[in-house]
Amino acid sequence: MSDETELAHSTLIREVRQRLEALSRAGVDRIPRPPAVARARPHLEPPQAAVEPTPIAPTPEPTRPTPRPKPAPTPEPVAVALPGSLFGSQAIDEPPVPPEDRPALLEALRLEVASCNLCPALASTRTQTVFGEGSPAAPLMFIGEAPGQVEDETGRPFVGPAGRLLTDMITKGMGLKREEVYIANILKSRPPNNRDPLPDEVGHCLPYLERQIAIIRPRFLCILGKPAAHALLETALPLGKLRGRWHRYRGIPAVVTWHPAYLLRNPAAKKDTWQDLQMLMNAMGLKVPGRKPE
Ligand code: URA
Ligand code: URA
């Protein structure tokens, strides 16, 4: 594509997205489409308003160039209502990294992050960067906002009070081990006094997370809280409008839910998060134990 066509293309997409978001804020949740257009452009589906899931296949794995050992079998059914491709970012088009190559690539990226100085203010106040941790072959990746005090001190994500709640959500709620999933943040450095990430900081740090996601290639994402959702899904909708339904990030089905730190302040919202986790578990083929984490 020429630069001009590309600019026109991205301007068009931005305008359509903004228009649809404005309609959505005004309560319009579907737009009729002329049948001729529907036939000609089947991929331009309006977003599903929906929470009633219709069975659809998960993102197909791109064809692999060479035979590789089969990954461990993943649980069966995926019943997910997903928005069309116009409303998600461009799917990752490289073939997945073989699982045995992932630890070394992640370690190289971790070292790059550790010496990053793109945000001099954060680099000068952090104790250390917090890269993320978990299985390099995780089927599910949780994405938070930024390290807090305990994370900054230990170099590990979600190990303070909000982290304890996230661990309970993973273990008691979903019946998984923390080491089976992957946990990362949008920002790898702690913002002073835990203030919200600034747009520049997100711009600098997001490419690291994108590379982490491309290496691990989880089947599902769980996005925690508003700043992470806004950074990844390029939307300004409030969290209450983003949770409870499916999104895609670079082709990967994604659920948004309340941030655990918000849940600590507003325990009444835990029932929402439990619903969101159940939606995720159904799609992952995990048995729902029928008990919400306290
Ligand atoms: N909050 C986050 O968003 N991330 C962490 O790692 C810890 C708290
Ligand atoms: N605001 C946030 O930043 N996150 C939440 O989860 C809720 C409100």
pLDDT digits (tens, 9 = 90+) for 1-44: 555 555 455 434 544 454 444 445 444 454 444 333 333 333 33
pLDDT of residue 93: 84
Instruction: Note the pLDDT of residue 152.
Output: 98
Spatial neighbors of 102 by CB under 8 A, at least 6 apart, are: 136, 137, 215, 216
* CA 6 to centroid of ligand 2, rounded, Å: 34
Section 204-230 average pLDDT: 98
Spacing, Cα 38 to ligand 2 middle (Å) = 37
Any atom of ligand 2 within 6 Å of the Cβ of 144: no
pLDDT by residue (tens digit) across 130-162? 999 999 999 999 999 999 999 999 999 999 999
**From the CB of 227, is ligand 1 less than 6 Å away?**
no
More confident residue, 35 or 166: 166
Q: Specify the higher pLDDT residue, 174 or 76.
A: 174
pLDDT of residue 257: 98
Higher-confidence residue: 213 or 90? 213
The predicted pLDDT at position 94 comes to 86
Residue 168: pLDDT over 80: yes
Burial class (CB in 10 A: 0-12, 13-18, 19+), 138: buried
- Residue 203: predicted pLDDT: 98
C-alpha to C-alpha distance for 149 and 167, rounded to whole angstroms: 17
pLDDT in tens, 223-280: 999 999 999 998 999 999 999 999 999 999 999 999 999 999 999 999 999 999 999 9
Q: What is the mean pLDDT of the chain?
A: 80
Interval between CA 147 and ligand 1 midpoint (Å): 5
What pLDDT sits at residue 83? Answer: 54
* C-alpha of residue 87 to centroid of ligand 2, in Å: 22
Strand-pair category, 140-144 with 220-224: parallel
Give yes or no for residue 258 CB within 6 A of ligand 2: yes
Q: What is the dihedral of CA 49, 51, 53, 58, to 10 degrees?
A: 80
Summarize pLDDT for 41-57 with one digit per residue, the tens: 333 333 333 333 333 33
Nearest Cα neighbor of 207 from 180, 182, 188 is 188
Specify the ligand 2 atom closest to the Cα of 257.
6
pTM of the model: 0.74
Query: Which among 243, 233, 184, 234 has a CA at the least distance from the CA of 213?
Result: 184
Query: 94 or 172: whose pLDDT is higher?
Result: 172
Note the pLDDT of residue 96. Answer: 93
| Closest atom of ligand 2 to CA, residue 263 | 6
Determine the Cα–Cα distance for residues 168 and 199; give it in Å rounded to an integer. 31
pLDDT at 292 (0 to 100):
55
Distance from C-alpha of 92 to C-alpha of 96, rounded to nearest angstrom: 9
For strand 140-144 and strand 246-249, is the pairing parallel, antiparallel, or unpaired? Answer: unpaired
Give burial (CB, 10 Å; 0-12/13-18/19+) of 88. buried
